[in-house]
Amino acid sequence: MQLSSTEWKIMHALWQRSPATAREILGAVDEETHWAYTTVRTLLARLVEKGAVAEHKQANTSIYEPILAREDARKDAVQSLLDRVFDGTAGSLVQHLIRERKLSKKDRAALARMLEEDSAR
């Protein structure tokens, strides 16, 4: 499932404080986004339609909970990036990160350990 950058902001807020009302989500993202309440409601409705979020009524208030797990969303986003930009190969992405110096020494050491462990299997 592909999420837009605005939908990611809503999902991050929900993953941190679920269940939540639209007003609670607005409070969580307002400082960064300055969105109107109606914008948050529209984004939540879109996420409900996509099947990423569940909506439950409590009296006259809608309560929202994520259905889409954070890890599943990350997997989909990374796979989409790999397919669109790196010909579907993780190696191309890692090579790019190394060439562009986007990996710290700690990250490089962790990657080397993971590759070593994987090749030992």
Task: Tell me what pLDDT residue 15 has.
Answer: 97
Task: Tell me what pLDDT residue 95 has.
Answer: 86
Sign of the dihedral through C-alpha 64, 69, 75, 78:
positive
Nearest to 65 by CA among 99, 111, 19, 108: 19
Task: Tell me what pLDDT residue 99 has.
Answer: 84
In tens digits, the chain (121 residues) has pLDDT values of 899 999 999 999 999 999 999 999 999 999 999 999 999 999 999 999 999 999 999 999 999 999 999 999 999 999 999 999 999 888 888 888 888 877 888 988 998 899 888 888 7
Distance from C-alpha of 10 to C-alpha of 40, rounded to nearest angstrom: 8
Distance from C-alpha of 36 to C-alpha of 53, rounded to nearest angstrom: 20
Question: Burial, 32: exposed, middle or buried (Cβ in 10 Å; 0-12, 13-18, 19+)?
Answer: exposed
